[in-house]
């Protein structure tokens, strides 16, 4: 059922993108509100709202996020994987061996992998710091703290990877890097 809900999030993203022309900026407020409501329900006194199965409420949100980043963003899922670490190791080995003339595509892969790795570490350190330093009463809102940042990433996705209809106008305004 979890996979079905995730796929419903992907499908919702696709339907709203195709029929309504929605992009990250349209989904940002929806995602922020959804996650905040999820955390508020987690703090509820009703046991059926706080059971271990409440992860099902978040599956559609992460389906939307992954659909956006894979199709209209980074071109890969938004987490650092072994592939990213191998890419960093290959490229850094080439640099150490004196091969500075990498093709632009290899540089892009290296930069993307480094960004993913850096933010994975930053998220881990930030989460641990929040757990250690946040007052006990805020521990119920663990995911809601991240919601505004996730919404910001949806907005930034539109700026860095604009929908295809915006590309020509943004290029003419000089707002996009063309590599």
pLDDT digits (tens, 9 = 90+) for 58-99: 899 989 988 888 877 766 776 777 888 888 898 888 888 877
pTM listed for this prediction = 0.63
Per-residue pLDDT at 69 = 80
Report mean pLDDT in 10-residue bins for the chain, 179 residues. Answer: 93 91 87 87 71 82 86 71 85 82 80 85 86 81 78 78 58 49
81 in Cβ contact with 117 (< 8 Å): no
Length of the chain, please? 179
What pLDDT sits at residue 172?
Answer: 54
Model pLDDT, residue 176: 46
What confidence score (pLDDT) does residue 149 get?
80
Vertex 57 angle, CA 55 and 58, to 5°: 70
72 φ, ψ to 5°?
-130, 35
* Residues in contact with 102: Cβ distance below 8 Å, sequence separation at least 6, in sequence order: 91, 94, 110
CB atoms inside a 10 Å sphere around CB 128: 10
Is 79 in a helix, a strand, or coil?
Answer: coil
* SS3 at position 66: helix
């Amino acid at each position: 059922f979890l996979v079905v809900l995730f796929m419903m999030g992907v499908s919702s993203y696709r339907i709203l993108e195709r029929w309504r022309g929605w992009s990250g900026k349209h989904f940002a407020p929806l995602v922020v509100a959804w996650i905040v409501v999820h955390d508020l329900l987690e703090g509820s006194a009703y046991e059926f709202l706080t059971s271990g199965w409440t992860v099902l409420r978040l599956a559609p949100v992460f389906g939307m996020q992954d659909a956006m980043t894979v199709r209209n963003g980074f071109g890969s899922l938004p987490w650092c994987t072994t592939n990213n670490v191998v890419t960093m190791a290959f490229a850094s080995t080439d640099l150490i061996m004196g091969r500075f003339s990498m093709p632009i595509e290899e540089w892009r892969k290296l930069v993307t992998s480094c960004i993913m790795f850096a933010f994975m570490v930053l998220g881990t350190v930030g989460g641990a710091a929040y757990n250690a330093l946040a007052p006990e009463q805020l521990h119920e809102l663990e995911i809601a703290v991240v919601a505004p940042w996730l919404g910001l990433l949806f907005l930034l996705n539109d700026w860095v990877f604009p929908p295809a209809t915006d590309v020509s106008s943004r290029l003419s305004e000089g707002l996009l890097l063309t590599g």
